[in-house]
Structure 1
Amino acid sequence: MSVFALGLNHTTAPVDLRGRFALAPEQLGPTLRSLRERLSLAPPEAALVSTCNRTELYCAAPLEAVRPAMDWLAGLGGIASARLADHTYVLERERAARHAFRVASGLDSMVLGEPQILGQMKQAVREADAAGTLGTTLHQLFQRSFAVAKEVRTSTEIGSHSISMAAAAVRLAAQLFEDLREIRILFVGAGEMIELAATHFAARNPRAMAVANRTLERGEKLATHFGAEAMRLADVPQRLHEFDAVVSCTASTVPIIGLGAVERALKSRRHRPMFMVDLAVPRDIEPEVAQLDDIYLYTVDDLSAVVQTAGEKRQAAVAQAEAIIETGVQSFVHWLDQRATVPLIRALNTQADAWRAAEIARARKLLAKGADIDSVLEALSRGLTQKMLHGTMAELNSADAEQRQQLAQTVSRLFLRGASGPTTLPADEDR
């Protein structure tokens, strides 16, 4: 049994490819169960982390499961395994643990130190647990990830001075428009990312804000919080021309703002420029929109170039975080190695219980026949001792000289710990 991570992220795959593998939280459970069915002969422990920046499959299984897991993931995205392999990474044991710890701590994100990924990983664990695919090993991996992430955030400044995607969008908009107080902004969606974006834009006091959402009630709740107008998602194409900026992030599996709608909006606006940010994976806005004159369209990948770090101070925090992570990795690997001996420990306990039961049964028979209690106890203890030492003595007697010396050292550590006397055998001793 081992642990491996199979995934693709913003550093290995473009946004359109990542969009093929993006999963909403409610899809995680059924998707994990389909993996277990695919690998039914040796079903692994499994968990899926899926965000706009990454889709990662974590498994506790023999490493032989990597190939069928890759084929399954390729099928999930509807592409060939060979193509997927060009954009994925496979990390095993300590490398998998190190990656999970870095992801949870925000060191592997577009925005260094961003906190959202930790909540997304916790949700992934809850979904895997509900689907019955988590298991002891992955539970340990993720709980240790969360503990390390907490220590990183409380002991370092990794999260300070970070520029989020939402803040980056505001900076780009400020480069296009002379005064953000004069623009009208449409937010499409009502999730956490849109709320974050609305918070940043609202701080600039734009002329008007509107929230469009498939569920009007949820959109109204968010709109009320910012003093914005709530509108139905279906009304966006007809009203798109009213807005100077559009920020979209929904869970739709297909684009909801098409090329035709944007072309009509530009015509109504007499080609006054429009600023558009598509934070969704898969895309909310058709990529062809970017080719239109007077349209400034940015995706999550584009925004990553805008996000900046805080120089030497940030790098010092990263180094400190990496040290914390490395300590956590070594602790997890030690635990994993210990887990490998569990079957042997269980077998030893079973064998010892069988010996004990046999000797107790024999002692009871002797007592029933009227045997002296002291002699019965003596026979019981001698019988247990002989059974426990029989295998060791047999190995010592059958081993050659070199093997016997190595075996003698092991036997001494096991049975003579704390005892005085020789722990090795003379090389020419004949047994």
Structure 2
Amino acid sequence: MSVFTLGLNHQSAPLDLRGRFAFSVEQLAPTLLRLREQLGQRRAALPEAAMLSTCNRTELYVAGDGEMLRPAVDWLAQVGGVGSGTLMDHAYVREGSAAARHAFRVASGLDSMVLGEPQILGQMKQAVREADQAGTLGTTLHQLFQRSFAVAKEVRSSTEIGAHSISMAAASVRLAAQLFEDLADIRVLFVGAGEMIELVATHFAAKTPRAMAVANRTLERGEKLATHLGAEAIRLADLPARLHEFDAVISCTASTLPLIGLGAVERALKKRRHKPMFMVDLAVPRDIEPEVAQLDDVYLYTVDDLAQLVQSAGEKRQAAVEQAEAIIETGVQSFVHWLGQRHTVPLIQALNQQADAWRQAEIQRARKLLARGEDVDTVLEALSRGLTQKMLHGAMAELHASDGDKRLELAHTVSRLFLRKSPRDPAES
């Protein structure tokens, strides 16, 4: 059984390329089934597969037999509408223990744009649930992810890995504070109603802005968040007509196309008499057309731009990282050991079946002897001798058939298996 991870993230690929490979939660299960069908062609057993897709990364986790990496690369490139070479220029591949190490680091927040951020763990758990419901998870990936969650829990409880970082939500507020003298005087629009928008909105709400509004495709969900914030809920269709009312716009939806275009922002600026607008696009793919950033009175930041604000250093944080890496490495070694044991499972099952067949044959023979009136001790002696001969026959036959170095090596192996002591040199026989 082999395991590999194929992915791209905020460190390896630009935002627009990542946008080509972004999947909503609803798309994960059907996408996994298509992937599994592609990888399972001409293979006796279907591979296991799971997919993690966030604003910062898209990753495939695959476990199975045979050479599956090349087909996985070709399939993912086709899905994103790029060549395999282009994909691999920005993708990374982790195999075996490296795949486990990567999964553990992602779950623990060590591979995140915001070091130690907790949202990724919830996103990984959601990815596992989707793979499980799609029927593509399997024993190996189940073990990999459950161990990932256990390692992440230990990292968060035993280290201060997340104590010295600034969240994306807090970074958005800090950027706005650099543009506006008093955040209590601004009007803020949140586009979307997902977890990230809720986090950002909570941070902005703490600054008590003059007004807040939530625009969402599903009005009911938008109203729920708006009620929680004490904000107004508006229809997404009304966004172009009302965009000029807001000083700050933060957007994060699962839309595959931009929701806020250059023309809409230009018209809004004209109505505002070119009063500055602060805009944050946390979506992948983008919610706001990138050309908007070229407008003189717009300050547009993407999810990658915010990364520069949340990178910080320090001895205390570095010590926490080193401690977390040590915990992760212990987890990796445990998983590799478990995975190695999985390779011997078919052999162990075959040995048990063979031994049971021998036992059944000898019991049947003993019963026949007893039925004919043979002495019990004689029957037991024959039974034990029959079992012993069957168990030793294969090893003895191989020893007699081998010679030279091969016989010496085989003798050591047989001795370890049956004598449980230091092997005797065959030359002494």
* Equivalent residue in structure 1 for 2:97, among 85, 94, 104: 94
Alpha-carbon RMSD: 1.3
Q: Secondary structure at the match of 1:47?
A: strand
- Read off the aligned partner of 1:94 and give its amino acid letter: S
Q: Deviations over 1:204-260 (max 9, x none)?
A: 111111111111111111111111111111110000000011000011111111111
Distance (Å, rounded) in 2 between the aligned partners of 1:258 and 1:86: 30
Q: Is the 8 A contact 2:411 2:426 kept in 1?
A: no
- How far apart in 2 are the matches of 1:370 and 1:288? 98
Give matches, 1:179-218, under 5 Å: 179-218=182-221
Question: What letter is aligned with 1:277?
Answer: V
> In the alignment, what sits opposite 1:33?
33
**2:366 maps to which residue?**
363
Answer with 293-302 or 395-404: which moved more.
395-404
Q: In the TM superposition, what whole-angstrom CA distance separates every residue of 1:282-335 from its partner, at most 9, and x where no partner exists? A: 111111111112111111011101113251111110000000000000111011
Q: Residue 241 in 1 paired to residue 244 in 2?
A: yes
Partner of 1:258: 261
**Deviation digits for residues 371-421 of structure 1 (CA, Å, limit 9, x no counterpart):** 22222221111111101000111122222232233222222221122x6xx
**Equivalent runs, 1:142-291 vs 2, <5 Å:** 142-291=145-294
1:364 to partner: Cα distance: 2.3
Stretch of structure 1 that moved more, 371-380 or 141-150: 371-380
Q: In the aligned structure 2, how far is the partner of 1:90 from the partner of 1:39?
A: 16
Q: Equivalents in 1 of 2:39, 2:408: separation in Å?
A: 45
Residue 323 of structure 2 aligns with which residue? 320
CA distance in 1, matches of 2:284, 2:66: 30
2:279, 2:301 within 8 Å by CA — same for their partners in 1?
yes
Q: Kindly provide the amino acid, as one letter, of the partner of residue 32 in structure 1.
A: L
Alpha-carbon deviation of 1:26? 1.4
In 2, Cα distance between equivalents of 1:52 and 1:172: 20
Assess if the C-alpha contact under 8 Å between 1:162 and 1:310 holds in 2. no
Equivalence for 1:427: 427
Distance, in Å, in 2 between the alignment partners of 1:368 and 1:255 is 86
| More divergent stretch after superposition (208-217 vs 359-368) | 359-368
- TM-score normalised over the length of structure 2: 0.97
SS in 1 for 2:214: strand
Question: C-alpha distance in 2, partners of 1:379/1:155?
Answer: 61
Q: Does 1:300 align with 2:303?
A: yes
Query: Identical aligned pairs, as a percentage?
Result: 79
Bigger shift: residues 400-409 or 306-315:
400-409
Q: Does 1:19 align with 2:22?
A: no
After alignment, is 304-313 or 379-388 more displaced? Answer: 304-313
Number of residue equivalences: 426
1:115 aligns with 2:118: yes
Q: How far did 1:353 drift?
A: 1.5
What CA distance in whole angstroms lies between the structure 1 residues aligned with 2:75 and 2:369?
Answer: 62
> For residues 218 and 196 of structure 1, what CA distance do their matches in structure 2 show?
15
**One-letter identity of the residue aligned with 1:322:** E
How far apart, CA to CA, are the structure 2 residues paired with 1:157 and 1:195?
Answer: 25
Please tell me whether the aligned partners of residues 4 and 63 of structure 1 are also in contact (alpha carbons under 8 angstroms): no
Structure-1 residue corresponding to 2:340:
337
Match of residue 74 from structure 1: 77
Q: Does 1:374 align with 2:377?
A: yes
Structure 1 CA distance for aligned equivalents of residues 65 and 91 of structure 2:
19
How many Å separate the matches in 1 of 2:372 and 2:266?
A: 102
Counterpart Cα distance in 1 of 2:71 and 2:264: 42
What is residue 410 of structure 1 aligned with on the other side? 413
8 Å contact from structure 1 (residues 185, 210) kept in 2:
yes
The one-letter code matched in structure 2 to 1:106 is G
Cα pair 1:101 1:149 within 8 Å, conserved:
yes
- For 2:399 and 2:206, the matched residues in 1 are separated by 79
Could you tell me how far apart the structure 2 residues matched to 1:380 and 1:107 are?
61
Cα pair 1:259 1:289 within 8 Å, conserved: yes
Which moved further from structure 2: 101-110 or 403-412? 403-412
> C-alpha separation between the residues in 2 aligned to 1:83 and 1:62?
26
TM-score norm. by structure 1 comes to 0.96
Which consecutive unaligned segments of at least 5 residues does structure 1 have? Answer: none
